[in-house]
Chains A and B, each alone.
Chain A
């Protein structure tokens, strides 16, 4: 099966999801070509197991994110079944590549089987859809849902110079209010909800986060009512996250919040209400007040 993986880059290197995309392609029996938009980390991509060739597409257009320009520059390198990451950039570029080629796109797949049969959550995880595609198509894959390929490969790297007209100009960069890890990038997230009483109490969650290298998230209620940054919001109108560990503190577990975090690998819930819906999705539930549980968590983690 002819297959192309569009690599996800992060600064000057390859984003870890790229090895997961290759792993998924391999599970379908493909030895994919990996296209690296902008060329950052192309050598690293060549070391992923199961890659037939890396095409590093370099051009001026890759200095600004413009999905139209990026798709124009890389589309001719993408053939067969095209696989990208279901990240903000991956989804957008993949959509334009699909539209340019006139082939369907299926976003946010969590499982693939030969055929190709694609499984994806719909209605924010309240149902699951399986569909079959027989021709060429574009599929984006959810982060952490597929096993990553190893890193003992040694594929060749072809550099292609190809740019395209940019139609988006950056006028002003506004830096982040904090240097904290973003919830969509983190492997561990500790989130707070209305149950922690007030905005200032997030400092206690930040202290826990600092011990274990976690990001700090929030429920919609506190983002709206306490003016926390929207970038912290986990849930249906915020971010959908799939970390290895999600710790929910003082979050009751509204259906919209669950939609954003229920596919985390392990979920710990701390809530004083034993009937809170969050316990329905928790692997480890602790019925306790946050005032008692968070300091205990801090000391237990420090003692590790």
Chain B
């Protein structure tokens, strides 16, 4: 791992008086794993036993990935370093990388795999872990789960494969130059935990929404090169698929419910909850 931290002495001025401070020249590389998914407002339709991707009206960042990217940008601003945005999937995913570049991702990596949706978790994680290692990142940010499969296997799985610690459901990460402090939920509420690189932070809803790109960012992003890595380039044997997807189908239609008018019907509904539904 190329992980170097150098701390340079410098002088800061507060109210005209020089005070000692530190300027961090931190060569930390943060990999942000991003997934392009149908926008959460998009309708999902099924055609021929598969979700029809051509019918998806809008593709977006998976929402938790946006929190991860924003947190990575904030960590870079406070502690220095460089952000490598990594995504895996078909050609349409390049748009996602441009959007990440527009808000500040430094390097863009596209793991090109047209049949990515048919890969099982082992294959996906092997690919991503190989890309993370090739990028020399020692800190990995990702969403706690993607909005398509809602699984949440990728963060901890990649951590296992690269021998990293993993903190999930993270809302905030900071660095003191050496290690990292992350906030995660606990049975009592929340806790701040200390962890060292290499580590994976899988984000829940973060403290701030992803920033909007400015015009300059969008222009710069258009010119930014995208590194395309194939399975062959990564030199990884992703293994055979152990999960065969039989079919996708629309969710079972719920039988229409009973509808009542006016607050005077509340007591009727409460009786039904007790006698029909047996839930109270």
Query: Using a CB–CB distance below 8 Å, which chain A residues touch chain B?
Result: 11, 65-68, 71, 88, 91-96, 98-100, 102-108, 117, 121-135, 137, 167-177, 188, 212, 230-231, 233, 236-238, 240, 244-245, 255-256, 259, 262, 265-268, 274, 279, 281-289, 292-293, 295-297, 300-301, 303-304
Tell me whether B156 and A99 are in contact (CB under 8 A): yes
Known: A170-B193, A286-B263. A99 touches B160 (CB 8 A): yes
Q: Find the B residue at minimum CB distance from A243.
A: B279
Tell me whether B258 and A283 are in contact (CB under 8 A): yes
Tell me whether B192 and A99 are in contact (CB under 8 A): no
Please tell me which one of the listed residues B40, B64, B266 contacts residue A300 in the complex, with CB atoms under 8 A apart.
Answer: B266
Residues 163-215 of B at the A interface (beta carbon under 8 Å): 164-169, 171, 181, 183, 185-196, 199, 204-205
Tell me whether B280 and A99 are in contact (CB under 8 A): no
Tell me whether B188 and A68 are in contact (CB under 8 A): no
Tell me whether B151 and A129 are in contact (CB under 8 A): no
Please tell me which one of the listed residues A95, A131, A137, A266 contacts residue B273 in the complex, with CB atoms under 8 A apart.
Answer: A266
Tell me whether A168 and B242 are in contact (CB under 8 A): no
Q: Find the A residue at minimum CB distance from B144.
A: A88
Q: Considering the chains assembled together, what is the distance between the CA atoms of A180 and B272 in angstroms?
A: 27
Which residues of the other chain, A, contact B43 by a CB distance below 8 angstroms?
Answer: 126
Q: Mark B250-265, 1 if CB is under 8 A from A, else 0.
A: 1110100111111111
Which applies to chain A's interface (DSSP): helix, strand, loop or mixed? mixed
Tell me whether B193 and A297 are in contact (CB under 8 A): no
Number of B residues, CB within 8 Å of A: 84
Which residues of the other chain, B, contact A105 by a CB distance below 8 angstroms?
Answer: 121, 151, 153, 157
Q: Mark B236-276, 1 if CB is under 8 A from A, else 0.
A: 00010011111111111010011111111111011011100
Question: Of A66, A131, A303, which is in contact with the most chain B CB atoms at under 10 Å from its CB?
Answer: A131
Q: Find the A residue at minimum CB distance from B190.
A: A174
B38 at the interface (CB under 8 A from A): yes
Q: Considering the chains assembled together, what is the distance between the CA atoms of A121 and B252 in angstroms?
A: 11
Tell me whether B242 and A137 are in contact (CB under 8 A): yes
Which residues of the other chain, A, contact B260 by a CB distance below 8 angstroms?
Answer: 284-287
Known: A127-B46, A296-B264. A304 touches B280 (CB 8 A): yes
Question: Of B150, B246, B262, which is in contact with the most chain A CB atoms at under 10 Å from its CB?
Answer: B150
Q: Find the B residue at minimum CB distance from A267.
A: B257
Query: Using a CB–CB distance below 8 Å, which chain B residues touch chain A?
Result: 38, 40-41, 43-44, 46, 51, 63-64, 120-122, 125, 147-161, 164-169, 171, 181, 183, 185-196, 199, 204-205, 239, 242-252, 254, 257-267, 269-270, 272-274, 277, 279-280
The 6 closest A-B pairs by CB, nearest first: A292-B263, A99-B160, A176-B189, A296-B266, A95-B156, A107-B151
Tell me whether A127 and B270 are in contact (CB under 8 A): no
Q: Considering the chains assembled together, what is the distance between the CA atoms of A68 and B196 in angstroms?
A: 13
For the complex formed, measure the closest distance between the CB of B165 and the CB atoms of chain A, giving whole angstroms: 4
Tell me whether A96 and B157 are in contact (CB under 8 A): yes
Which residues of the other chain, A, contact B242 by a CB distance below 8 angstroms?
Answer: 103-104, 133-135, 137
Tell me whether A67 and B168 are in contact (CB under 8 A): yes
Tell me whether A68 and B258 are in contact (CB under 8 A): no
Which residues of the other chain, A, contact B63 by a CB distance below 8 angstroms?
Answer: 236-237
Which residues of the other chain, B, contact A132 by a CB distance below 8 angstroms?
Answer: 243-244, 246
Q: Find the A residue at minimum CB distance from B199.
A: A167
For the complex formed, measure the closest distance between the CB of A201 and the CB atoms of chain B, giving whole angstroms: 16
Known: A129-B245, A168-B165, A296-B264. A244 touches B185 (CB 8 A): no
Q: Give 8 new A-B contacts, CB below 8 A, not counting A98-B157, A122-B150, A283-B257.
A: A99-B122, A107-B149, A133-B244, A170-B186, A172-B191, A268-B269, A292-B263, A296-B266
